[in-house]
Amino acid sequence: MSFDLPVVLGHRGARAVKTENTIEAFRYACQSNVRWVELDAMLSGDGVVMVFHDETLDRMAGIPGRVDEFSADRLQSLTLKTGAKIPTLAEVLDVLNEFRACVNIEIKPSRPDLARETAGQVWQVVRQAGFDDPDRLLFSSFAWDALEETMTLAPHIRRGVLVEDVSGDWRPAAKKLAAYSINYDADLLNPELIREIKDGGYRLLVYTVNDPNRAKDLRARGADAFFCDDPVAMTAAFS
Ligand code: G3P
Ligand code: MG
């Protein structure tokens, strides 16, 4: 196997089809031949790596509180509004291993001071799951110090610098991190930026794109890949 990123990555599994960041979503994506999925990795209060997007529980679980105030056991005992459960990263990697699928782990510290610890715990889980494979794994984060930590712990695993409107200047970070990719918000991109990123030698991964025409237009301008909520439909649009 070699590192071979497709045009379409399943965003939080396939969040338009199954509850985001759940076993169901990743199983569905894998069974639908989606080779690469993205997920969000966040620590529980007792330091277990969970797969969950928000820092708080209200949107998904309908209860107040922060993820980092709950133990992993408590988080796993919750039933999300859709009826699904919050998985650990280890559980998700087991499913992905079953299908030999590939993953972009977005390291999402629930607080800025947890960036390095989150990265360290993620790396431990990755190693225990036998996912220590540069061909099947890409790290990314809006918390660039988390990526710095992965660079120390696992320099052979590619790094994607995530950028959103409050991120600041990605250029020095990308250089320092020897980034493989710049993962940019579709709504913030413009033709000059696309050119600059590509001229800099980086891959350009764009989130979140669900309109095939928009994806095709961005692709024609140089974007390499897209995070898509319905990766099956988007893949069909590109074939
Ligand atoms: O990694 C791409 C995308 O997931 C970044 O934004 O908020 O959906 O995690 P978010
Ligand atoms: Mg994400």
Residue-wise pLDDT for 39-50, tens only, equals 999 999 999 999
Residue 60 has pLDDT above 90, yes or no: yes
Residue 59 has pLDDT above 90, yes or no: yes
Instruction: Give the domain ranges of the chain.
Output: 8-237
pLDDT band at 4 (very low <50, low <70, confident <90, very high): very high
pLDDT (mean) for 211-226: 98
Ligand 1 lined by 36 (C-beta under 6 Å)? no
Global confidence as pTM: 0.98
At residue 28, the pLDDT reads: 98
Nearest CA residue ID for atom 2, ligand 1:
207
Which ligand lies nearest to the CA atom of residue 185 in the structure? 1
Ligand 1 lined by 106 (C-beta under 6 Å)? yes
Tens-digit pLDDT profile for residues 194-208: 999 999 999 999 999
- Cβ neighbours of residue 9 under 8 Å, at least 6 residues apart? 34, 36, 37, 38, 104, 205, 225, 226, 227, 228, 231
At residue 126, the pLDDT reads: 98
Written as one string, the DSSP assignment of 148-204 is HHHHHH-TTSEEEEEE-TTS--HHHHHHHTT-SEEEEEGGG--HHHHHHHHHTT-EE
Residue identified by tokens 């990743």 is: 26
Ligand 1 lined by 91 (C-beta under 6 Å)? no
**Dist CA 92 CA 90 (whole Å):** 5
pLDDT (mean) for 23-41: 98
pLDDT (mean) for 57-65: 98
- Cβ atoms 117, 97 nearer than 8 A: no
Q: How far is the CA of 138 from the centre of ligand 2 (A)?
A: 12
- Cβ atoms 163, 182 nearer than 8 A: yes
**Dist CA 202 CA 200 (whole Å):** 6
Q: Which ligand 1 atom sits closest to the C-alpha of 11? A: 4
Instruction: Report the share of the chain in percent with pLDDT over 90.
Output: 99
pLDDT band at 104 (very low <50, low <70, confident <90, very high): very high
At residue 1, the pLDDT reads: 79
Q: What is the mean pLDDT of the chain?
A: 98
At residue 237, the pLDDT reads: 97
Mutate to test the pocket of ligand 1, among 5, 9, 11 (most ligand atoms within 8 A of CB): 11
Residue 216: CB atoms within 10 A of its CB come to 15
**Dist CA 54 CA 73 (whole Å):** 18
Given CATH 3.40.605.10, say whether it is the number of domain 8-237.
no
Mutate to test the pocket of ligand 1, among 8, 207, 209, 229 (most ligand atoms within 8 A of CB): 207
